[in-house]
């Protein structure tokens, strides 16, 4: 393969022993996981192997997915996992990483907040493109207020364009926050070289902690964490945070216990206390494979 992580159309055609035209048809229908870069279709190798596994008719029982919650970090979801005592472990390293691991059967659910390239829709275009034909469903978790979290002594920042010349905490590449930051920066006419980028933060909390310590002047963060650290907040966008769930695992005890807790008065009270959340429709289906 030309890349250890991705396969090209000819490589996938050779693996499946089909014509390249059929590969394009599979990609267009959303049946196989794929992404488009520089005008070319690329297929994540782990996702393709998992897709083949899901479509195998060898008669062998597949081992259950591990009870792990993948994807993007969310402070309220993190709290709910602990308080519900649902038994789920967590591996939060960004939306794109979580999606890739979900396709590779490394967990039962993944938290996502991925805005499409046109800036119109959250999560559904990406999930429909990569999870078509898979045993998956996308359910609502929350809408979150996101914007610029500023250092206590920082002034003169009221919009993205004001980050020019400032020291900013970035998130890991291809995380939902990084994807959004790149889109908002481009819209504001900012390039990465226009800012002094600090060390990468791998969770929402780490990013705001860095600003609170004075390691940087700003980060694109959540209102709830700005409130936790007593930092100024400039609202920019309301984003949608959803859970991509394996349909079979949805009915198992860990996810059922978690989602039952998420419908409780304790959860609603916590969200109101934390601020920056709208839980309307939590648990309802947004997309179904």
pLDDT digits 0-9 by tens, 210-267? 999 999 999 999 999 999 999 999 999 999 999 999 998 999 999 999 999 999 999 9
Any residues with CB less than 8 A from the CB of 155 and at least 6 apart, and which?
none
Mean pLDDT on 85-108 = 96
Report residue 194 as tokens.
Answer: 């226009």
Q: Cα separation of 222 and 127, whole Å?
A: 23
Q: Cα separation of 195 and 209, whole Å?
A: 19
Report percent pLDDT > 90 for the chain: 72
Query: Does residue 3 carry a pLDDT above 50?
Result: no
| pLDDT at residue 54, as a whole number | 63
Q: Cα separation of 213 and 230, whole Å?
A: 12
Q: Which of 194, 186, 187 is nearest to 166 (CA)?
A: 194
| pLDDT at residue 132, as a whole number | 75
Write the CA distances from 217 to 57, 208, 211, 230, integer angstroms.
Answer: 55, 10, 6, 14
């Amino acid at each position: 393969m030309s890349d250890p992580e991705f396969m090209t159309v000819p490589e996938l055609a050779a693996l499946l022993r089909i014509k390249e035209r059929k590969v394009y048809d599979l990609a267009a229908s959303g049946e196989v996981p794929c992404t488009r870069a520089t005008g070319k279709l690329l297929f994540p190798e782990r996702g393709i192997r998992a897709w083949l596994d899901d479509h195998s008719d060898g008669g062998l029982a597949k081992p259950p997915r591990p009870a792990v919650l993948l994807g993007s970090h969310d402070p309220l979801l993190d709290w709910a996992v602990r308080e519900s005592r649902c038994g789920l472990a967590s591996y939060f390293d960004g939306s794109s990483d979580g999606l890739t691991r979900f396709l590779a059967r490394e967990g039962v659910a993944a938290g996502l907040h991925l805005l499409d390239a046109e800036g119109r829709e959250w999560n559904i275009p990406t999930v429909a493109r990569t999870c078509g034909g898979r045993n998956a469903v996308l359910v609502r978790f929350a809408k979150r207020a996101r914007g610029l979290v500023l250092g206590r002594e920082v002034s003169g920042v009221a919009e993205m364009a004001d980050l020019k010349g400032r020291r900013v905490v970035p998130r890991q590449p291809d995380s939902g926050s990084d994807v959004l930051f790149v889109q908002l920066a481009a819209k504001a006419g900012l390039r990465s070289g226009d800012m002094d980028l600090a060390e990468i933060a791998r969770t929402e909390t780490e990013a705001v902690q860095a600003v609170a310590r004075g390691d940087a002047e700003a980060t694109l963060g959540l209102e709830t964490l700005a409130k936790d650290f007593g930092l100024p907040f400039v609202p920019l966008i309301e984003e949608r945070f959803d859970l991509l769930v394996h349909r079979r695992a949805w009915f198992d005890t860990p996810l059922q216990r978690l989602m039952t807790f998420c419908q409780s008065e304790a959860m609603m009270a916590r969200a109101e206390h934390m601020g920056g959340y709208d839980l309307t429709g939590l648990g309802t289906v947004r997309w179904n494979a």
